[in-house]
Amino acid sequence: MDIRELQSKLSASRKILITTHHRPDGDAIGSSLGLYNYLLLKKHEVTVVTPNGYPGFLQWMPGNDKVVDFEKDTERARQAVAAADIIFCLDFNEPGRLEGFSGLVMASKAFKVMIDHHLHPDNFCDITYSFPAASSTCELVYELICSFGDEQMINRAIAECIYAGIMTDTASFRFSSMRANTHRIIAHLMECGAVNYRIHEAVYDTFSPDRLRLLGHCIDKMKIFREYNTALITVSAADLERYNYQTGDTEGIVNYPLSVEGIRFSVFFAERERRVKISFRSKGDFSARDFAAKYFNGGGHKNAAGGHSDLSLSEAEALFVSLLPSCKKELNS
């Protein structure tokens, strides 16, 4: 990446705002707090603002207690935007992914920097570091710190955040986005103080019994469409209530059907307050992103994408099933 322009902007102490996408995931929070901890060491004034809240299993990272939630603390978020010289947009590629926070960010005159790995970035930042081949935005933040010549400044706090984001965006280092160099970065982060098993436990081993039972329920309800190598899970608002749904409880459920032999496309529909939230995962060449973008107002990566529908849960399911025949060839290649 050409970092000279950014490096010169950061050569004096700045007021910096870091933000990330709505419903932040591990990479969103990891990259935001990894960069936050680094920029603090560089003597900047830094605030992380998320468009809304995020699950408890992401609330352990160093700096988490300073994160401002735009939905809960709109006035502080507004002040942070108003004060900012520089705004970092991490792990998203279009302003719409900020949902309600997007108006404030887009109206700001601050210098904007995108660091992201989603396909097809919109042109809304002054500098766009977009590398869809990267495993995660965390990996890009690591590379940015190294290209500033500050590798030796990576302390335990920074290392833990970056480790967590690479781990969650690669489903624990197993996706094809994991390159040999990503493993080298992970090794270095461990040398910098990230304790691997503690991070895995903090993210993956903090289920409530209800959350695990909800997972069991979803897997029980899974439908398999053999002809299309596809699996579908739908969960209704009533089901979620029955299992005392908390933010984050459905995270990762979409990945399970991919462990069924032959399944190359897994889709998860969850009935939320106003709309149906959808997750798509694929293996190989079938583009979950293109499918999400074409039919379900979404986007993301080739093998991991999301979207939504304003139809009812059963109508959205029927639409999905009706679309499968048109993809039969791609799903069988």
Site for ligand 5GP, residues 23 to 62, rule: CB under 6 A: 25
Using the rule CB under 6 A, is 300 a contact of ligand 5GP? yes
CB of 52 to Mn ion, least distance (A): 17
Question: With binding defined as CB under 6 A, does residue 21 bind ligand 5GP?
Answer: yes
How is residue 10 annotated by DSSP?
A: T
Q: Which is nearer to ligand 5GP, 14 or 23 (CB)?
A: 23
Largest CA distance in the chain: 60
Question: Does 98 contact ligand 5GP by CB under 6 A?
Answer: no
321 phi/psi in degrees, rounded to 5: -65, -35
In whole angstroms, how close is the CB of 167 to Mn ion at the nearest point? 11
d(CA 276, CA 271): 5
Smallest separation, CB 56 to ligand 5GP (Å): 17
Query: SS3 sequence, 288-310?
Result: HHHHHHHHCCCEECCCEEEEEEC
Residues forming a β-bridge with 224 = 231
We find the least distance from the C-beta atom of residue 109 to ligand 5GP, in angstroms, to be 26
Residue 231 found at the interface with ligand 5GP (CB under 6 A): no
The partner in contact with residue 305, picked from Mn ion, ligand 5GP, none with C-beta cut-offs of 5 to 8 angstroms by kind, is ligand 5GP
Judge contact between 117 and 140, C-beta under 8 A: yes
Contacted entry of ligand 5GP, Mn ion, none for residue 306, CB cut-off 5 to 8 Å set by kind: ligand 5GP
Question: What minimum distance in Å lies between the beta carbon of 14 and ligand 5GP?
Answer: 27
> 141 Cβ partners below 8 Å, 6+ apart?
31, 34, 35, 38, 90, 115, 162
Residue with smaller CB distance to ligand 5GP, 79 or 246 = 246
Residues making contact with Mn ion (CB under 5 A): 27, 91, 136-137, 169
Torsion of CA 199, 204, 207, 211, to 10 degrees: 150
Query: In the block, which residue shows the tokens 């499968």?
Result: 324
Interface with ligand 5GP, residue 304, by CB under 6 A? yes
Which CB, 62 or 132, lies closer to ligand 5GP? 132
Paired tokens of 248: 């984050």
Q: Which parts of this chain interact with ligand 5GP (CB under 6 A)?
A: 21, 25, 279, 298-301, 304-308
